[in-house]
Amino acid sequence: MSIQRYIAANSPRFLDELVDLLKIPSVSADPAYKEEVVKAAEFVKEKLIASGVDHAEICATAGFPIVYGEKIIDPAAPTILIYGHYDVQPADPLELWDSPPFEPVIRNTDLHPEGAIFARGSADDKGQFYMHVKAFEAMIAEDLLQCNVKFMIEGEEEVGSENLDLFVQKNQEKLKADVVLISDTSMISLEHPSVTVGLRGLAYLQVEVTGPNKDLHSGTFGGSVANPINVLCKMIASLHDENHHITIPGFYDQVQEYDSEYRKQLNQAPFNEEDFKRKLDVKETYGEKGYSTIERVGIRPTLDVNGIWGGYIGQGAKTVLPSKAHAKISMRLVPDQEHKEIARLFEQHFKRIAPPAVKVKVVPHHGGPAAVIPTDSIGYRAAEAAIQEAFGKKAIPTREGGSIPITALFQKVLGLDPILLGFGLDTDAIHSPNEHYGVANYLKGIETIALFFKHFNQLSKEK
Ligand code: BES
Ligand code: MN
Ligand code: MN
């Protein structure tokens, strides 16, 4: 048999196993799901063993565990380290899901005539990392595995991978590999397969603006003391100028600018602005002056409010002048912005622009650097060759706007450039209601991953 035939013969079971994994609500952000997250780790370990690793273990951390498994076929053979995450984002708002987030169903859609599996985590990242487990199983079953494999599947990606850093630092020998392979990104489409060569970094923080020391009657006191929500809105509005440039002094100091040649190349990726607008139901795109949509997402930094609250938001009208206003703010970063420095610049500026009538508190959350992946490595060439063989097309290198902060950690600590071979689509609704993952993407991904192994082994020998 071949890999393709093995996948075809076993695809119903490959889907069933993914469905079982998706039924576990492993929401890392919400303490109510603590036991479920641990259950997902155990599930992953069991499946690694069933799929053929020599040895698998659940490695405790200060937070959620990391599942590690390996199969060493020959110490002289190349080693591929697979990274993924079994934790998922919270599912709310629940009322906007067409089917319950942890009761996976396969439905056909216009984009997915062969079906898509709807569930929280289906594309981010359970459906994607599980492709590696099944590609591994297929290679063993077909006696085609010629590389050593190490799996490292974590449970805290969606909350900032805080304990992974230490784990990687401490386990450098155990994690020793020739390449890191990650499927936690998107491709342009099944017609236009792509490999991600850049991710943005992130600085995330929360702000609190306090006016009077308690909520007040908005008639008795309105007009005489600062309303912290009014003030916060004004402060936030001032963080962009009329060209949608960010106004924080020093914010752009470390930003890498690209020459027109690179920008031209980036803009050659297939992208239809009209399509983009139609899918999102917006009349116009919106962003930094002087850059295309591809550039705004791929190579430019941003500042966005992710949530804002305060005062009365219940039924009807309550006349109140609130004591406090809050917002969660994220900044997507590009090379070479440093997230702690950017958070510091934000805090300094935000406190400076606050009127004396309010107090401001800024609490930094997680963050991480951007990453750029070189395209001249054996790993990248193996990805290109695998895509060529699986899709009959040349892979398009893309820079994506999302963040996987550990990508840069692998580069720094392990000295390895991760290959971001993702099979999701931007329309998969990750982090959003009705998240789904195409069945065709899942099965094609399994095939492409197996081909990556083949080409990585071949190219390593030619070196
Ligand atoms: N898989 C995503 C990152 C991603 C999504 C990369 C789409 C490229 C395309 C990852 O799980 C994620 O959501 N990351 C967070 C950052 C993290 C520190 C919480 C993000 O990008 O918001
Ligand atoms: Mn992810
Ligand atoms: Mn995510």
Looking at 320, 346, 367, which one is the last position of a domain? Answer: 367
Query: In this predicted structure, what is the pLDDT of residue 437?
Result: 98
Show which residues are catalytic.
Answer: 87, 157
**pLDDT on residue 463:** 75
In a domain, residue 439? The reply is: yes
- What is the layout of strands, in order, in the sheet containing 324-333? 304-310, 324-333, 201-210, 359-368
pLDDT in tens, the chain (463 residues): 699 999 999 999 999 999 999 999 999 999 999 999 999 999 999 999 999 999 999 999 999 999 999 999 999 999 999 999 999 999 999 999 999 999 999 999 999 999 999 999 999 999 999 999 999 999 999 999 999 999 999 999 999 999 999 999 999 999 999 999 999 999 999 999 999 999 999 999 999 999 999 999 999 999 999 999 999 999 999 999 999 999 999 999 999 999 999 999 999 999 999 999 999 999 999 999 999 999 999 999 999 999 999 999 999 999 999 999 999 999 999 999 999 999 999 999 999 999 999 999 999 998 999 999 999 999 999 999 999 999 999 999 999 999 999 999 999 999 999 999 999 999 999 999 999 999 999 999 999 999 999 999 999 998 7
pLDDT at 53 (0 to 100):
98
CA of 123 to the centre of ligand 2 (A): 8
Q: Give the ligand with the smallest distance to the CA of 199.
A: 1
HEC string of the chain? CCHHHHHHHHHHHHHHHHHHHHCCCCECCCHHHHHHHHHHHHHHHHHHHHHCCCEEEEECCCCCCEEEEEECCCCCCCEEEEEEECCECCCCCHHHCCCCCCCCEEECCCCCCCCEEECCCCCCCHHHHHHHHHHHHHHHHCCCCCCEEEEEEECCHHHCCCCHHHHHHHCCCCCCCCEEEECCCECCCCCCCEEEEEECEEEEEEEEEECCCCCEECCCCECCECCHHHHHHHHHHCCECCCCCECCCCCCCCCCCCCHHHHHHHCCCCCCHHHHHHHHCCCCCCCCCCCCHHHHHHCCCCCEEEEEEECCCCCCCCCEECCEEEEEEEEEECCCCCHHHHHHHHHHHHHHHCCCCCEEEEEEEEEECCEECCCCCHHHHHHHHHHHHHHCCCCEEEECCCCCCHHHHHHHHHCCCCEECCCECHHHCCCCCCCEEEHHHHHHHHHHHHHHHHHHHHHHHHC
Cβ contact 85:125 at 8 Å: yes
Q: What is the 114 CA–ligand 3 centroid distance (Å)? A: 24
Residue nearest to atom 13 of ligand 1 (CA): 158
Full-model pTM: 0.95
pLDDT digit string (tens) for 372-417?
999 999 999 999 999 999 999 999 999 999 999 999 999 999 999 9
In a domain, 278, yes or no: no
Distance 178 CA to ligand 3 centre (A): 26
Q: Which residue's CA is minimally distant from atom 20 of ligand 1?
A: 403
Same domain as 185, residue 42: yes
User: Of 344, 367, 390, which residue is a domain's last?
Assistant: 367
Residues 109, 130 within the same domain: yes
Q: Are residues 316 and 404 in the same domain?
A: no
Q: How far is CA 363 from CA 165, 208, 329, 366, 385, in A?
A: 21, 8, 10, 10, 46
* 283 domain-assigned: no
Residue whose pair of structure tokens reads 């899942």 in the numeric block: 442
The set of protein residues with a Cβ atom below 6 angstroms from ligand 1 is 124-125, 157-158, 160, 184-186, 199, 202, 366, 400, 402-405
Same domain, 455 and 326: no
Instruction: Mark whether 349 and 456 lie in a shared domain.
Output: no
- Whether residues 218 and 350 share a domain: the answer is yes
CATH of the domain at 407: 3.40.630.10
Pocket test for ligand 1, best of 28, 30, 131, 157 (most atoms within 8 A of CB): 157
Residue 313 and residue 326 in contact, taking contact as beta carbons nearer than 8 Å: no
452 within some domain? yes
- 169 and 78 together in one domain: yes
Last residue of a domain, one of 347, 367, 387: 367
- Residue 296 domain-assigned (yes or no): no
What is the pairing mode between strands 359-368 and 201-210? antiparallel
Tokens linked to 452? 């990556």
Same domain, 38 and 172: yes
pLDDT number for residue 1: 60
Regarding whether 217 and 87 lie in a shared domain, the answer is no
Please state at what angle helix 3-22 crosses helix 126-141, rounded to 10 degrees. Answer: 140
Which residues have beta carbons under 5 A from ligand 3 (an ion)? 124
Quote the ligand 2 centre to 354 CA distance (angstroms): 36
Number of domains in the chain: 2
Q: Is residue 263 part of a domain?
A: no
- Which atom of ligand 1 is nearest the CA belonging to 124? 1
Which of 126, 202, 404 for a ligand 1 pocket mutation test, highest count of atoms within 8 Å of Cβ?
A: 404
Nearest atom, ligand 1, residue 367 CA: 18
Range of the domain at 355: 201-255+301-367
Smallest-distance ligand from the CA of 185: 1
Strand 396-399 relative to strand 148-154, pairing: unpaired
Q: Is 95 in the same domain as 152? A: yes
* Nearest ligand, CA 186: 1
Residue 241 belongs to domain with CATH number: 3.30.70.360
Same domain assignment for residues 119 and 189: yes
Check whether residue 312 and residue 185 sit in a common domain.
Answer: no
